[in-house]
Structure 1
Amino acid sequence: MLSNVGVALMLYRYRTGDSNMQSVWICSRNDAIGNVAVMGAAGAVWFTASAWPDVIVAFAMAALAISGAIQISRSALLELRQA
């Protein structure tokens, strides 16, 4: 978990580069957020004895992945049009 967060922090300054750099940043960011969210959900599942924290985190991670895919696709398409 700490390594994912560390890599995301290192890549933060490249988040506005070309579509490849944006993709690396978005994927690293999503990995770091996902790791933290899963650890939080595990604690919440243990504390509440309910599966709902897992379900909520799963939907949030899916939304994050779809959002990242849309951002990267738009950036890549824009670069293709300009080439």
Structure 2
Amino acid sequence: MLADASIYGVALYAVGRSAKRKLQAAHLSGWLQLALALGVLSEVIRRFMFGSEPASTLMMCFGVIALIANATCLILIFKSKDDGAHMKASWIFSSNDVIANVGVILAGVLVAMTGSRYPDLVIGLLISGLVLHGAHRILKLKS
């Protein structure tokens, strides 16, 4: 949630500013998303190496709450997604969040069904790739 708040804070800072500042804000968001992707990846590696006991019910509950919050943000951003690089970055970030939330819920279901930690690790790896791809898309923005 800290990553979400940071990205939205950067986007809000850029509102009403020049196109150059909006692009700079978007690129800052891209770097923040890159840091998030690396953080997720390092957590997946840590859990793989040292073990983990994913709590499937907790994963699903937080996944649903986050999905509702992120889907709401995505709906709010929709009308303004083309109003500058900062809004495009927010759209990319929020879209990825919604996909990641569905992934967390799916991981929770699969962990509950199988009793294995591997669905959590595999989906965590996929989420880190998704976030990394989003960071790349944001950092490529030109306007």
TM tier relative to shorter chain: 0.7 to 0.9
Which residue identity does 1:63 align to in structure 2? G
Q: Which residue of 1 aligns with 2:122?
A: 56
Deviations 1:21-46 (A, max 9, x none): 11111111122111121111011001
Q: Does 1:9 align with 2:111?
A: no
Which residue identity does 1:73 align to in structure 2? L
Q: Report deviation, 1:15.
A: 3.8
Inter-partner Cα distance in structure 2 for 1:27 and 1:5 = 11
- 5+ unaligned residues in a row in structure 2: which ranges? 1-66
Q: Which has the higher contact order (CA 8 A, sep 6+)?
A: 2
Inter-partner Cα distance in structure 2 for 1:17 and 1:69 = 19
Percent identity among equivalent residues? 27
Q: Which residue of 1 aligns with 2:87?
A: 21
- Closer, same or farther: CA 9–40 of 1 in aligned 2, 3 Å: same
The Cα RMSD (Å) is: 1.6
Q: Which residue of 1 aligns with 2:37?
A: none
Q: Does 1:71 align with 2:104?
A: no
Q: Report deviation, 1:62.
A: 0.7
Q: Does 1:37 align with 2:103?
A: yes
* Structure with greater helix percent: 1
TM-score by length of 2: 0.48
Inter-partner Cα distance in structure 1 for 2:99 and 2:81 = 16
TM-score by length of 1: 0.78
Inter-partner Cα distance in structure 1 for 2:111 and 2:95 = 24
Inter-partner Cα distance in structure 2 for 1:15 and 1:60 = 25
Deviations 1:2-27 (A, max 9, x none): 12122223323444442211111111
